[in-house]
Structure 1
């Protein structure tokens, strides 16, 4: 090691300082992945700080009497090559000072305490401003309350509680599996109804209070302190919170993970109990509360608390179990080191200590967490905007600022001003801004394929459906199932018992009016004109009834194979109404495909279509170029076939309250495509995948179109 790297030009500023750890800092030794680390727990702030054994060689000797230079000289003499450089010591002192872990003999206590208080207040305000959907308001020190009530709940914080939790959750899951269809029936309408929102407003703080108290009791049962409890505005909704950060000082990773997982266990336990209650009681207020507790406990656990990609309970559980504290910040820092080391060539920058296993976690966790947080924030903003437009726009803009603008600005500033990059500044700046310029240029200028993917079904012609043309009872089905019939062949014979009597009465009425007309034509021409009109009405009504008599014989609309709606024996004697389906005549071959296109893609399909490709379900490797036959005018709120609904494996969301499963939540447009000869034998109703080709367009234009459609759909802007 050269003297230049070992010594520092500003060493004189710290050499004569006599630092010591503050009295409220507690030190403990932990092991992570087989390596020793020293944990400094700050009782005043509840924060945990982790240091390597090499750093502790220095920190442990800061007793307020020895100078920094004396401590460093002693370490340098005893450890030689492993001794830290003077710059390392300065950085360590800076970190200790910034986190208020050390003090000096000349430090004024009162002024220092005021400064610490102001700094903590500023940090809290900064945290709230940078995360407006999770705004914290400290209110109470619950440590005495938890200590007094702990004996009542202590059995639930150990193995007894774990076994009880497992039994209840298994029972709840089994009940949910049996009652799933009933539980999720019309869930969309139920969830957003005004009555349910009121119930949820009461149930949500209750289950969150249980969640937070579980953290506190488990931490207290293992010797921790809980000094802060308050209200957190989670997505602008008030819920209680408990600061259980003291658990970070526990030596056992299982104790730390238990405290972090306490809220997850509590919520799933309450949700499982609520599921059992909901299944046992009759519909009413108790059933509504239980239903909401299941929804809240399930959604918050899966999407938020139990998900390690967000910095909530699941994140800390994962960090403790894999023995990788500060997983998120360290993962981000490791990615930054990779870029600076390999892209910028800053070989003098040392990575933070990490094992090979931790580095593998870093590579996966940082991008996955970033993408998930972005998706969640955008989803929350869109949901809020649907109910409160201005608030939703504010949350969306804040999410964009925190997820995109702020990180980009911070990283660009680092590239331009960071002292660590001074030796490779030109390369770092050139590579960074050059990459941005190339990316923007490619996005604006490089044309990319523009396509729209849709789904459809092999369509049965409308005229193939055999429908009753009048009401009546089916007396005979002369054609067996599957028989080949010609056009106009009789398929069913209906009877109408009163038809013959009506025909006879109408025939006599027409004859009566005809004779009266003959008599009046000689005696009274005015009355004869009235009789002539009456005769026309009588003849027309008689013709209509005779047509009904002819319609009693149901004939084949086209040539093909006859398939009745029910077995012929079941059709006999059945009463059918006009328009009711009796069966279908399947043509010898399929002729076309009916495709459903979403509203946002319809403009491209209508105005910029260049070619169309089709793939049959089950044969996705075979592509067939087809042609567009016709467009069904106007948007529809119903799918052409149930096979296109999400419940049947399709891509369209349908209204859960529609018994047919055809009414879509967003309108669709229908197109008919000619089916190629190679697929003429495809079964009617088979799902197909269709790709509409619209030529090429730069990526920026495509992204702008989708963003504009998103704004129009959710914000009406």
Structure 2
């Protein structure tokens, strides 16, 4: 009987059982934490293993009887189990679905041909699902392991363990005695030779990691059919096929195989730390340093992570005694969530003791949260790895397939079972919560728009050193009142004074030539040239005098000196462009804000809002939008809001030293509604404006479309 036959006809106890494939073998399995025995069914052709419970084992042990009724009766008479025809039918379906039955009909052969054809095609859909993780077996190491394993038996001796512990202690003490030299090895890797050294060291460490798995599995009698390279998010990593460890009856042995890779790297690091102390400086010492520090830390951080199917996952699975940990934990978590939300009344997918059930639930929910952020990060990564159109497509695939699809399948299950939803309190609260959530998404209740802002005087003057000079006199100090035209600081530039004096002498000579040109024939011939030189020198002298005038720093506004360069004393030399002072007029204040492109359409001139100073000692006040720039801000004039200075606006400093916003923002000018003095200094804060109402879903949709258009270059 084939799987196709089972789909069309219901099973009858009087039917003969389909034959099992002759090469299948049964092995005793590990005991569950509750003491329940298990068995492992091995498919050596496909190198697959299936965990069987007691009932399945008893059924398969009597499969040779060929008659379901006889098997059921024999099990009931010799054990405490009470199997049914349905149990036999479910087992046959399981065996057929995994190709564990002999195929003796043309119909069954045709089905296998179709499966093989589909496997060869591996179409576009398969590629989208698997491009983040693909395996490529490179070698079959079994013969190599058979030949070399006898020479490595000393690795598992107590003598080697003691030597390793001693190397850790001695190496650690010696490193601490020259810790500064040890740490100073890091800068060596920031060049081409260092990069090659790093790559070689990492390769050695990862090969040792995989050989640790392979030799340990071989030690316990497991076959290692393949070792190769896997592409993890297009990044090559080594892997070892240790699937046959499923047949190990001892949980301790399985844990040792799972931890062998990390143990191998830790042992390598221990001896590398000791060896580093005796090597001269150079590439070899740097490689040993890397093995002693970075590689084992990386492997522990990555491989101990139980949320992905690395070593840590299998170690946790064996420690808990729960095979197929993720699938079973996810099934339990989905059942628990549905019961809490809707009280369907379904039985638990399988029984676990309360403490283990809580652990599985925590693990499942933690994995879901971890995967959400992981796949979100991968979506951004693949976007930046490829050109824009392909990057956007792959990012959408990630978001849709790995995040959106599981959510869709769960919501679909809820909708399909809506008729079964109980009228209990849980269900009512769930429905009410969903309705409120939808209302929050769809109803345009959000009207406030927040943006970073500065409160400053409407009139202020900043003073910088116009050219390299020294201080002659300082006439004011912070807090002094000044009027327009008052001299704050008098600067002197000796180079400029010299140029002025030299220019004055040149002017006098040129004026003499022009004045007495009629008395000398040669002067008369040079008259046109002398006149042009006089005009040019006069203009140059006028510019020098204006520059000298600028060395008298005069206030252009009536206000208060709020900032002064300190210390500032006569005789001090100052470089060109150095800030000197700030004069602020307190007669009128203005709020300058920067609004994001997404909120621009919701704010118009005349809208009211509130300004909240960052200084909690100051009271907020009402403002009104006076003007909004038509174009986005190319650079920030004030550094207070820039992220490079600790502000909320993401900005970077370009080659010219200008602060350039990372995302499009638009400058707004707001004025206080109430008359009052302006601030004595620039104060950062937040402005909240009552803008046009918009729903959350509309806002998110607009943001997504804006990002797609901007990033795709449309």
Normalising by structure 1, what TM-score?
0.71
Please state whether the residue corresponding to 1:351 is helix, strand or coil: coil
Please state whether the residue corresponding to 2:307 is helix, strand or coil: coil
Please state whether the residue corresponding to 2:713 is helix, strand or coil: coil
Give the equivalent residue in structure 1 for 2:228: 230
The answer on whether the counterparts of 2:29 and 2:247 sit within 8 Å (CA) in structure 1 is no
Give the equivalent residue in structure 2 for 1:247: 245
Give the equivalent residue in structure 1 for 2:424: none
Please state whether the residue corresponding to 1:396 is helix, strand or coil: helix
Return 5+ residue gaps in structure 1 as ranges. Answer: 1-8
Please state whether the residue corresponding to 2:329 is helix, strand or coil: helix
Following superposition, the deviation at residue 351 of structure 1 comes to: 1.9
The answer on whether the counterparts of 1:385 and 1:715 sit within 8 Å (CA) in structure 2 is no
The answer on whether the counterparts of 2:26 and 2:42 sit within 8 Å (CA) in structure 1 is yes
Give the equivalent residue in structure 1 for 2:5: none
The 1:457–1:703 alpha-carbon spacing in structure 2 relative to 1, beyond 3 Å, is: same
Question: Distance in 1 between the 2:587 and 2:253 partners?
Answer: 69
Please state whether the residue corresponding to 1:137 is helix, strand or coil: strand
Give the equivalent residue in structure 2 for 1:65: 65
The answer on whether the counterparts of 2:517 and 2:527 sit within 8 Å (CA) in structure 1 is yes
The 1:409–1:359 alpha-carbon spacing in structure 2 relative to 1, beyond 3 Å, is: same
Query: Pairwise mapping of residues 354-433 of structure 1 onto structure 2 (< 5 A)?
Result: 354-366=352-364, 368-370=366-368, 372-389=370-387, 391-403=390-402, 407=406, 427=420
The 1:202–1:27 alpha-carbon spacing in structure 2 relative to 1, beyond 3 Å, is: same
Question: Distance in 2 between the 1:609 and 1:147 partners?
Answer: 84
Please state whether the residue corresponding to 1:703 is helix, strand or coil: helix
Once the two structures are superposed, residues 446-498 of structure 1 have per-residue CA deviations (whole angstroms, 9 ceiling, x without a partner) of: 32426655445666889553312333123444556x55352455444433335
Once the two structures are superposed, residues 693-712 of structure 1 have per-residue CA deviations (whole angstroms, 9 ceiling, x without a partner) of: 54333344323222223323
The 1:443–1:497 alpha-carbon spacing in structure 2 relative to 1, beyond 3 Å, is: closer
Question: Distance in 2 between the 1:351 and 1:88 partners?
Answer: 16
The answer on whether the counterparts of 1:377 and 1:396 sit within 8 Å (CA) in structure 2 is no
**Which moves more between the two structures, 163-172 or 367-376?**
163-172
Following superposition, the deviation at residue 259 of structure 1 comes to: 3.8
Following superposition, the deviation at residue 314 of structure 1 comes to: 3.5
Query: Pairwise mapping of residues 495-534 of structure 1 onto structure 2 (< 5 A)?
Result: 495-511=492-508, 513-514=510-511
Normalising by structure 2, what TM-score?
0.71
Following superposition, the deviation at residue 38 of structure 1 comes to: 1.1
The 1:345–1:580 alpha-carbon spacing in structure 2 relative to 1, beyond 3 Å, is: closer
Query: Pairwise mapping of residues 460-475 of structure 1 onto structure 2 (< 5 A)?
Result: 463-475=460-472
The 1:362–1:572 alpha-carbon spacing in structure 2 relative to 1, beyond 3 Å, is: farther
Please state whether the residue corresponding to 1:635 is helix, strand or coil: coil
Once the two structures are superposed, residues 278-333 of structure 1 have per-residue CA deviations (whole angstroms, 9 ceiling, x without a partner) of: xx99999998999999999877875x654433333343344344444323212332
The 1:350–1:510 alpha-carbon spacing in structure 2 relative to 1, beyond 3 Å, is: closer
The 1:356–1:249 alpha-carbon spacing in structure 2 relative to 1, beyond 3 Å, is: farther
Once the two structures are superposed, residues 187-213 of structure 1 have per-residue CA deviations (whole angstroms, 9 ceiling, x without a partner) of: 9xx9xxx99999998887666544433
The 1:107–1:366 alpha-carbon spacing in structure 2 relative to 1, beyond 3 Å, is: same
Please state whether the residue corresponding to 1:83 is helix, strand or coil: coil
The 1:489–1:25 alpha-carbon spacing in structure 2 relative to 1, beyond 3 Å, is: farther
Give the equivalent residue in structure 1 for 2:491: 494
Question: Distance in 1 between the 2:43 and 2:152 partners?
Answer: 27
Return 5+ residue gaps in structure 2 as ranges. Answer: 1-8, 422-426
**Which moves more between the two structures, 60-69 or 148-157?**
148-157
Question: Distance in 2 between the 1:336 and 1:531 partners?
Answer: 98
Give the equivalent residue in structure 1 for 2:38: 38
The answer on whether the counterparts of 1:562 and 1:585 sit within 8 Å (CA) in structure 2 is yes
Give the equivalent residue in structure 1 for 2:144: 145
The 1:502–1:441 alpha-carbon spacing in structure 2 relative to 1, beyond 3 Å, is: closer
Following superposition, the deviation at residue 184 of structure 1 comes to: 14
The answer on whether the counterparts of 1:493 and 1:552 sit within 8 Å (CA) in structure 2 is yes
- Alignment of 1:705 onto 2:702: yes
**Which moves more between the two structures, 216-225 or 326-335?**
216-225
- Alignment of 1:327 onto 2:364: no
The answer on whether the counterparts of 1:596 and 1:639 sit within 8 Å (CA) in structure 2 is no
The answer on whether the counterparts of 1:210 and 1:267 sit within 8 Å (CA) in structure 2 is yes
Please state whether the residue corresponding to 1:36 is helix, strand or coil: coil
Please state whether the residue corresponding to 1:30 is helix, strand or coil: coil
Give the equivalent residue in structure 2 for 1:312: 310
Which one of 676, 685, 690 corresponds to residue 688 of structure 1?
Answer: 685
The 1:540–1:567 alpha-carbon spacing in structure 2 relative to 1, beyond 3 Å, is: same
The 1:76–1:298 alpha-carbon spacing in structure 2 relative to 1, beyond 3 Å, is: same
Give the equivalent residue in structure 2 for 1:547: 546
Give the equivalent residue in structure 1 for 2:335: 337
Question: Distance in 1 between the 2:547 and 2:327 partners?
Answer: 80
The 1:458–1:413 alpha-carbon spacing in structure 2 relative to 1, beyond 3 Å, is: closer
